[in-house]
A and B are shown apart, each in its own frame.
Chain A
Amino acid sequence: MTDEYVTSETNLPPDPEGGEIRLQITDKSTKEISSTRARISRSPDDLSDPVPLTVVKGPHENTEEQWYIDVLETDIESEEIDRELLEEAYEKVRNDANVINTRSDDVKTLLRYLVEKGRYSSVSQASRTIMFEYLSDHYPELLDEYVNIKVRHEQRELTEGGRDNT
């Protein structure tokens, strides 16, 4: 690994600056492509150990923007999604209650605070939104696969519903 990297704008999550993200980068010297846990920013002053990161943009990636990256962990294994297990979970939830039970004075206090401040309309809504955001940031492949499964199921239901009507 050297001290300069390249990534595509298409690899950046929404609002990438500040927080920890998973990011695919290319080592500018070896061209090795790897997944990392990192922080990135347009300003090196925002990062503790910044190295240059070229973000290529546009449909042909022929424009460049200078960013900086603080690589926290290299060679993050791309998590293989066990689709069979996810399918099972999907079916179980559909046939069962969709309530999430958890007990915590601390969490509930914090959520209630956010509700009172008007950030969320209810504790339930705050729980859903925050958990989704976390899952989206930390398990993007899992979310992608879940969306695929859900779409497939919905398509199947539509098709089967259509057949019933004929």
Chain B
Amino acid sequence: MTVDSLRDYVRRLEADGMLVRIDDPVSWNLEASAFTMLANERDASVPLFESVDGMQLIGDPYRGSQRRPWDRIALGMDIPSDASHRELYDELINRLQTPEAPVEVSRSDAPCKAVTYTDDGVNLLDFPWPYIHAGDGGRYSNLHTLIAPDPDSDWVDWSYHRTMIHDSRTASVLLLAGEQTPNLYYYKYERRDEPMPVAIAVGAEPAVQYTSVMWIPTGRSEAEFAGGLKGSPVELVPCETNNLLVPATAELVIEGEILPNTRRDEGPFGDYFGYMHGPRRSMPALHVTAITHREEPIIPFCVEGTGVGYTENSTSSLEVGCVGPDATLGLRAGGFDIDRCVPWKPTPRTVYVISTPTTSPGYLHELANFIFTTWGMLHVDFFVFVDADVDPLDQREVLEALALHADPDEDFHQFGVETMPKVPLNIYQTPSEKGNVQTGTSKAKTSKAYIDATRKSDAGPDPVGDVDEQYWARTVLKNAGADPERLPFTEPGGSRS
């Protein structure tokens, strides 16, 4: 049975004992985020705050359990939450290869149109946007899907950019040039001095949220991939004040336009590296033209910055659970011989592991060049390349490959020395190194790197110990019900014959 809405997903969480309802009044001002942070750190149930100024907030609804950070992502696609990471990964590959076209429904059939505000009725401050960290520059919507059209084609991008609420009709949106939607804004709309029509779907159904964090190539329909992930078409409905289509079951939709040459303060914000992060930047201003929502909308949010290194909030779980299959398919479509591309669990946005059967130095350099000039340009710092028989989902295997096969003298490659763009949210550059914002990106430049942890020849020395016996023991334990990812040993040399 498909999961058609956020509240459908919430019901499933509750049925599986993963949700706690809090009916005592809770403030949006730090209190909801504090409760959520504690739940995240303690691996507790997902908190649904039922009385926040008469509305509802849900804290980090997609945060996975600490040992299995992908489990609730799986639940949102009607995949058993006890599926292994490998099973989820393979199922995502399958689903992304079978996209389904969306269907358009009438306004009367769209739950997100239950209440509609336009003109003078619009007031962002009527909703309990959370103030998440002490020191944030404002209240945020930070778990949503930003929908923006390419002015030169039918393509519509779905993405995910934190948005700071200023007043009743104004917000600022973190648009960093180098990503798809920011590029539409800076290099098309703003250069033509035109506003970019947008919609922000808050609390969209899980498949839509998942697609927003995935690498969907420019020009491809995000809605079709969301339909593939879901296993049935996503229902879309027209906006009230522009021509965009939005997910019909979203909890709340903000319609508006991002104005050309108009900036508002954005940040500081405690973002995913785990630090309060300045400086405040001038980011494009969103002028809100309409708000529509379901009855008693549930507004989801993410306490970014908690559990860094342990995948303890929604976005880090989304990275671990959703990202990887998309990149694998994209790299294969680019002509590369890839087995799996997998984000490194503790730092899922900055480090990736790629297993490939083709490991010649020139090939790996070409592969790195492709990634660092496309989807990996802004966020990814480095890659680890491993042989195809090393499982990138298994951190022990990857560390073993690094220890055994990566020669510090020859296998650590810097790429684009001090010329590559870098997201200014990192903390290893000083504020002055990051510079201020003129065109939405930063002056932050750095190197990228990749590590070649592949074997240099097939004929290595004989391993100590009996590989066959270890493999037999591992198989017996696995068949007896043990989680193979928690077994306290692995095969020498990464071998898995």
Q: Which A residues contact B (CB, under 8 angstroms)?
A: 8, 10-11, 24, 26, 29-34, 56, 58-62, 80, 83
A33 touching B166, Cβ below 8 Å? yes
Tell me whether B265 is interfacial, beta carbon within 8 Å.
Answer: yes
B167 is contacted by which of A33, A56, A60, A62 (Cβ under 8 Å)? A33
Q: How far is the CA of A104 from the CA of B98 in the complex (A)?
A: 79
Tell me whether B135 is interfacial, beta carbon within 8 Å.
Answer: yes
A-B contacts, 18 of them at CB < 8 A, read A29-B29, A31-B29, A31-B138, A32-B125, A32-B166, A33-B265, A34-B167, A59-B278, A59-B279, A59-B431, A60-B276, A60-B431, A61-B135, A61-B137, A61-B268, A61-B276, A62-B278, A83-B261
Given A32-B125, A33-B265, is A61 in contact with B138 using a C-beta cutoff of 8 Å?
no
The interface residues of chain B lying within 8 Å CB-to-CB of A61 are 135, 137, 268, 276, 278-280
B265 is contacted by which of A24, A30, A59 (Cβ under 8 Å)? A24
Q: Which residue of B lies closest to A148 (CB)?
A: B261
Shortest B157–chain A CB gap in Å is 28
Tell me whether B131 is interfacial, beta carbon within 8 Å.
Answer: yes
The interface residues of chain B lying within 8 Å CB-to-CB of A24 are 265
The interface residues of chain B lying within 8 Å CB-to-CB of A11 are 265
Q: Which residue of A lies closest to B432 (CB)?
A: A59
Q: How far is the CA of A28 from the CA of B187 in the complex (A)?
A: 36
Q: How far is the CA of A84 from the CA of B166 in the complex (A)?
A: 27
Tell me whether B74 is interfacial, beta carbon within 8 Å.
Answer: no
Given A26-B138, A34-B167, is A60 in contact with B265 using a C-beta cutoff of 8 Å?
no
Q: Which residue of A lies closest to B167 (CB)?
A: A32
Which 7 residue pairs of A and B lie closest in terms of their CB atoms, listed nearest first?
A59-B431, A60-B278, A33-B166, A31-B139, A59-B279, A59-B278, A61-B278
Q: Which residue of B lies closest to A56 (CB)?
A: B135
The interface residues of chain A lying within 8 Å CB-to-CB of B167 are 32-34
Q: How far is the CA of A58 from the CA of B29 in the complex (A)?
A: 23
Given contacts A33-B138, A60-B135, A61-B135, 16 further A-B contacts (CB under 8 A): A24-B265, A26-B138, A31-B165, A32-B166, A32-B167, A33-B264, A58-B278, A59-B278, A59-B430, A59-B431, A60-B275, A60-B278, A61-B137, A61-B280, A80-B262, A83-B261
Q: Which B residues contact A (CB, under 8 angstroms)?
A: 29, 125, 131, 135, 137-139, 165-167, 261-262, 264-265, 268, 275-280, 430-431
Q: Which residue of B lies closest to A58 (CB)?
A: B278
Shortest B130–chain A CB gap in Å is 10
The interface residues of chain A lying within 8 Å CB-to-CB of B131 are 31
Q: How far is the CA of A80 from the CA of B195 in the complex (A)?
A: 14
Shortest B136–chain A CB gap in Å is 8
Shortest B174–chain A CB gap in Å is 16
The interface residues of chain B lying within 8 Å CB-to-CB of A8 are 137, 265, 280
Interface centre among A34, A62, A80 (most CB of B within 10 A): A62
Q: How far is the CA of A59 from the CA of B276 in the complex (A)?
A: 10
Q: Which residue of A lies closest to B259 (CB)?
A: A80
B29 touching A62, Cβ below 8 Å? no
Q: How far is the CA of A80 from the CA of B262 in the complex (A)?
A: 9
Shortest A46–chain B CB gap in Å is 27
Shortest A53–chain B CB gap in Å is 16
Shortest A35–chain B CB gap in Å is 10
Q: How far is the CA of A8 from the CA of B137 in the complex (A)?
A: 9
Given A26-B138, A32-B166, A34-B167, is A60 in contact with B261 using a C-beta cutoff of 8 Å?
no
The interface residues of chain B lying within 8 Å CB-to-CB of A56 are 135
The interface residues of chain B lying within 8 Å CB-to-CB of A32 are 125, 166-167
Shortest A163–chain B CB gap in Å is 22
Shortest A50–chain B CB gap in Å is 24
Shortest A85–chain B CB gap in Å is 14
Shortest B207–chain A CB gap in Å is 32
Q: Which residue of A lies closest to B261 (CB)?
A: A83
Shortest B267–chain A CB gap in Å is 9
Q: How far is the CA of A11 from the CA of B431 in the complex (A)?
A: 17
The interface residues of chain A lying within 8 Å CB-to-CB of B138 are 26, 31, 33
Q: How far is the CA of A32 from the CA of B29 in the complex (A)?
A: 12
Given A26-B138, A62-B135, is A10 in contact with B166 using a C-beta cutoff of 8 Å?
no
B279 is contacted by which of A10, A26, A34 (Cβ under 8 Å)? A10
A30 touching B125, Cβ below 8 Å? yes
Q: How far is the CA of A83 from the CA of B280 in the complex (A)?
A: 26
The interface residues of chain A lying within 8 Å CB-to-CB of B278 are 58-62
Given A31-B29, A83-B261, is A60 in contact with B165 using a C-beta cutoff of 8 Å?
no
B268 touching A60, Cβ below 8 Å? yes
Q: How far is the CA of A155 from the CA of B492 in the complex (A)?
A: 62
